[in-house]
Amino acid sequence: MSYTVELVGSREGTQGNNPSLILRYAVFGTDDDFQVRGLVNAASPAVYDVLVKQQIHTHQEGEGVWFGDVEYGAAKLGMPGTAEWSFEIGGSATQHITQSLDTAGKYAADGTPPDFKGAIGVRSDGNGLAVDGIDIDLTTFAWSETHHLAYTAVTPAYINTLYLLRGKVNASAWRIFERGEVRLVSVTGSARGEWTVPLTFSFEASHNVTSLKVGDITGIDKEGWHYLWTFYEDAEDETAQALVKNPKAAYVEQVHEYGNFDALGLPDPWN
């Protein structure tokens, strides 16, 4: 029966800019070099403190007796468990709005200008009044993370999990974000032999907001990826003696499904 023990004098290490560590093992009861390397690999941890396993060296000392050195070092980009990231605040996305945050000024050639309660682009369409609105730049927080996963971790079941979560928003608090603030935009990946699979996850964030005001409607709460729209009604502005469009009701709609982002299994590259 073969077995493995850690040797006295193991755990020789170096601190500094290029930290390293060596764990030393002895294997008894086999002459199969493949089995020896497997036993040493199984006996040694994948991560020791902050260092990761990098190489295993084995040599035969005698019949049925082997020595194995396991070298540890700082994680290098491309190794399992490492990650890269980039982000963009801004972008070229636009949003169509029909309601302003505030009417900064109202002017009329004669008399009092009608009060549309913040509705933008009110006009007569021949059948009454319509609200055209405008397109504005939409400030977004978008980022991507490339995680180098072990080849064995990217199973068909995990790929299916990614497929099912694509386009969804977080169903519960995730990292620094509240429920409903993050959307998984896409996941791309490619295998590199049988060592690692780099997967790039693209996300977008939109903050939750509370106590919004639309015209005279107050106390509106909206999750980041919910959609807010306004129903308008014709009304009489008695002061201006004019027909106006005023917000009658505001609706917050869920347009994206929720998903469990913990199922992504990703460490936080910023924490």
DSSP 105-121: ----SSSPPP--TTB-S
Q: Residue 222 and residue 6: Cα distance in Å, rounded?
A: 58
How far from 1 is each of 5, 38, 67, CA to CA, in Å?
13, 15, 17
* Nearest of 233, 232, 228 to residue 251 by alpha carbon: 228
Distance of CA 227 to the CA centre of its chain: 20
- Give the Cβ contact number of residue 77 at 10 Å: 10
Query: What is the mean predicted confidence (pLDDT) over 35-50?
Result: 88
Percentage with pLDDT > 90 across the chain:
61
The pLDDT of residue 15 is above 70: yes
Q: Please state, rounded to an integer, the average pLDDT across all residues of the chain.
A: 90
In this structure, are residues 234 and 128 in contact, taking their beta carbons and an 8 Å threshold? yes
pLDDT score at 193: 64
User: DSSP letter string over 34-91?
Assistant: HHHHHHHHHHS-SEETTEEEEEEEEEEEETTEEEEEEEEE---TTSTT-EEEEEEEE-
Higher pLDDT, 47 or 217: 217
Name the pLDDT band for 47 (thresholds 50, 70, 90): confident
| pTM (two decimals) | 0.69
**φ, ψ for residue 41 (rounded to 5)?**
-65, -40
Report, as an integer, the average pLDDT of 103-108: 91
Cβ of 35: how many Cβ atoms within 10 Å? 14
Calculate mean pLDDT across residues 147-164.
92
pLDDT for res 77 = 67
Q: Which of 214, 210, 233, 230 is nearest to 222 (CA)?
A: 210
| 46 vs 172, more confident | 172
48 touches 72 (CB < 8 A): yes
Give the pLDDT of residue 233.
Answer: 93
With H, G, I as helix, E, B as strand and everything else as coil, classify residue 257.
coil
**Which pLDDT score, from 0 to 100, does residue 191 have?**
79
Helix (H, G, I), strand (E, B) or coil at 248: strand
Q: Note the Cα 243 to chain centre separation in Å.
A: 48
Q: What is the per-residue pLDDT for 163? A: 97
Q: Is the pLDDT of residue 43 over 70?
A: yes
Contact 197, 187 (CB under 8 A): no
Residue from 6, 7, 11, 32 nearest 21 by CA: 11
Residue 49, pLDDT > 90, answer no
| Rounded Cα–Cα distance for residues 164 and 187 (Å) | 11
